[in-house]
Amino acid sequence: MDAALPRLAVTAGEPAGVGPELLIRLAAGPLAADLVAITDRDLLRRAAARCGAAVALSDDDGARVRARAPGALRVHHVPLGAEERPGHPDPRNAAHVLATLAEAADGCLAGRYDAVVTAPLQKSSINEAGIRFSGHTEFFAARARAGVVMMLASPELRVALATTHLPLAAVPAAITAASLERTLRIVHAELGAKFGLARPRIAVLGLNPHAGEGGHLGREEIDTIVPLLDRLRAEGMQLLGPLPADTAFVPAQRARYDAVLAMYHDQALPVLKSEAFDRTVNLTLGLPFVRTSVDHGTALDLAGTGRADPSSMLAAARLALELAARAPGARDE
């Protein structure tokens, strides 16, 4: 007997961005998943018309199915606050966006969905609505009451972040022994649980140029990073570094590790995105469910044209399915 398809919740992100069109492109393909769009039903209809794609929308009844025809898309309807204008985010839709994320998180926690894939949203629009918001990662962490780590992964490289959406001036104070230990323990555990690596090797970047140059270019490595790495190595973790960021990604170094921990957002992500922008996936480590996302923004200049490239969305969905299949208690009936 054929197994039931995994139920993959997909949020459309910013209504005025490319997210709704990416969702339609995803549904139009043959992905072996029961896709449940968490967004406004009419928003999807308009996005499908802009893409020239034939989709069959139906209300989600929560039942498990064993097959999905290309173009079939179930919908958990969350109404917009105002009809979208492609390319022009409207703060009146901030509550809608957050409601879709809440349903995705709560549905995963309750077992209604096996994983969630998120399309890009516009953080500025949510903040302009008077709602303090720093990103998907932080939202899901708070909703699940979990300590999390942001990782971006391509087929060739995995990069986790010690700090995420912070001004550069705030990064040094955020790099503490306690925060680094928490992050490294999550990354180490998740590389085993989600990627099947029994003894993961993690390269840790220094904060300063040349990893501090023996203290001449900063003391964070000497005072904080090195003592922590030595302590965790004594427990059996395989940790390299701290490595200078400017040479950590050369081929000879890459052969030595399974993932990189970067100290801040733009320290390593430009390398990853320049190499594999259309194949890179954002995932949140540490959650009690699988969450992946595209690695790009709302592309407001492309919104409404139907020309947005769905490659990263498809990569995110495929990785979500792969990770969900490895999760404890994954459905195989």
Overall average pLDDT of the 294-310 stretch = 91
Residues 200, 133 within the same domain = no
Query: Tens digit of pLDDT for each residue in 120-133?
Result: 999 999 999 999 99
- pLDDT classification of 3: cutoffs 50, 70, 90: confident
* Gap between the Cα atoms of 157 and 77, Å rounded: 36
Residues 68, 188 within the same domain = no
Domain count across the chain: 2
Binding residues: 136-137, 165, 210, 265, 273, 282, 291
Query: Tens digit of pLDDT for each residue in 24-40?
Result: 999 999 999 999 999 99
pLDDT at 333: 44
Query: Tens digit of pLDDT for each residue in 181-215?
Result: 999 999 999 999 999 999 999 999 999 999 989 99
| Average of per-residue pLDDT values in the chain | 93
pLDDT at 2: 66
* CATH number of 13's domain: 3.40.718.10
Residues 105, 170 within the same domain = no
pLDDT at 330: 62
- pLDDT classification of 322: cutoffs 50, 70, 90: very high
Residues 102, 124 within the same domain = yes
Backbone phi, psi, residue 323, to 5°: -70, -40
Residues 186, 62 within the same domain = no
Residues 49, 156 within the same domain = no
Residues 172, 294 within the same domain = no
Overall average pLDDT of the 237-253 stretch = 94
Q: Which domain holds residue 216?
A: 147-286
Overall average pLDDT of the 317-327 stretch = 92
131 or 333, which is more confident? Answer: 131
| Final residue in a domain of this structure, among 248, 270, 286 | 286
Q: Are 105 and 1 in contact (CB under 8 A)?
A: no
Task: State whether residue 284 is helix, strand or coil.
Answer: strand
Query: Tens digit of pLDDT for each residue in 144-190?
Result: 999 999 999 988 899 999 998 889 999 999 999 999 999 999 999 99
pLDDT at 273: 83
Residues 182, 195 within the same domain = yes
Residues 186, 133 within the same domain = no
Residues 170, 88 within the same domain = no
The HSE-up count of residue 184 (CA atoms within 13 Å, CB side) is 28
Which spans in the chain are helix H?
Answer: 19-28, 41-51, 94-110, 123-128, 136-144, 171-174, 177-193, 220, 226-234, 251-254, 265-276, 311-326
37 or 325, which is more confident? Answer: 37
* β-bridge partners, 292: 117, 283
Residues 250, 319 within the same domain = no
Binding residues for substrate: 136-137, 273, 282, 291
pLDDT at 219: 94
Binding residues for a divalent metal cation: 165, 210, 265
Residues 127, 1 within the same domain = yes
pLDDT at 329: 62
**The whole model's pTM is what?**
0.90
What are the tokens at 136? 């998907």
Query: Tens digit of pLDDT for each residue in 71-116?
Result: 999 999 999 999 999 999 999 999 999 999 999 999 999 999 999 9
Point out the least confidently predicted range of 17-26, 39-48, 295-304: 295-304
| Residue 279 confidence (pLDDT) above 90 | no
